[in-house]
Amino acid sequence: MLTPELWDPTTKVFSQLAPQAVPRTYHSVALLLPDGRVLSGGGGLCGGCATNHTDIEILTPPYLLNADGSAATRPTLSNVPADAQLGTSIAVKATTGVKAFALMRLSSNTHAVNNEQRRVPLSFTIGTAGEFILKIPADPGVVIPGYYMLFALNTNGVPSVSRTLRLH
């Protein structure tokens, strides 16, 4: 498949993006990077392929760009703890204009299938000092213990560069 798709969790609709230059089939990988871009690589020996593909492509999704193609302004995260317990809350600092937070589980990808990737939206409140208090879900079936990327998203849906958080 050459055409990546972008899921919109608000509208619950996929939209097609610009096609990849190289078919990414058997033994390929697609990984969400901490900066919100997507690494797509490997694959080969597909129906019309003459060889294996030992290269990668980096997709810059449209949510990282302004209409003119320049980089969109991103929120930033700071003071993120290194780890947290399921069912607790953590305090983080972020720039103003943040409207959402999401956890993205670090990937485990093989044979073009990613069994571990998941997005977990987090509810939050604002603390007395302006910090964001994020509620970590308690259900280990929703938040499997392990490492996650924490993203802050602004009102335009532009994500921060993530911070890694271990949940246990």
Query: What pLDDT is attached to residue 44?
Result: 73
Q: Tell me, yes or no, whether 108 and 163 share the same domain.
A: yes
Q: Tell me, yes or no, whether 55 and 121 share the same domain.
A: no
Query: What pLDDT is attached to residue 28?
Result: 78
> 42 near 157, Cβ under 8 Å?
no
Q: Give, for all 168 residues of the chain, the pLDDT tens digit.
A: 578 888 887 899 999 998 888 777 777 778 889 999 998 887 777 666 677 778 888 989 999 999 999 999 999 999 999 999 999 999 999 998 999 999 999 877 666 666 777 899 999 999 999 999 999 999 999 999 999 999 999 999 999 999 999 999
Query: What pLDDT is attached to residue 148?
Result: 96
Q: Tell me, yes or no, whether 92 and 162 share the same domain.
A: yes
Question: How many domains does the chain divide into?
Answer: 2
Alpha-carbon torsion angle 89, 91, 92, 97, nearest 10: 80
In a domain, 69, yes or no: no
In a domain, 71, yes or no: no
Active site residue 63: no
Q: Which domain holds residue 122?
A: 77-167
> 81 near 93, Cβ under 8 Å?
no
Query: What pLDDT is attached to residue 109?
Result: 66
Q: Tell me, yes or no, whether 42 and 83 share the same domain.
A: no
What span, in angstroms and rounded, lies between the C-alpha atoms of 103 and 121? 6
Query: What pLDDT is attached to residue 33?
Result: 93
Global pTM reads 0.88
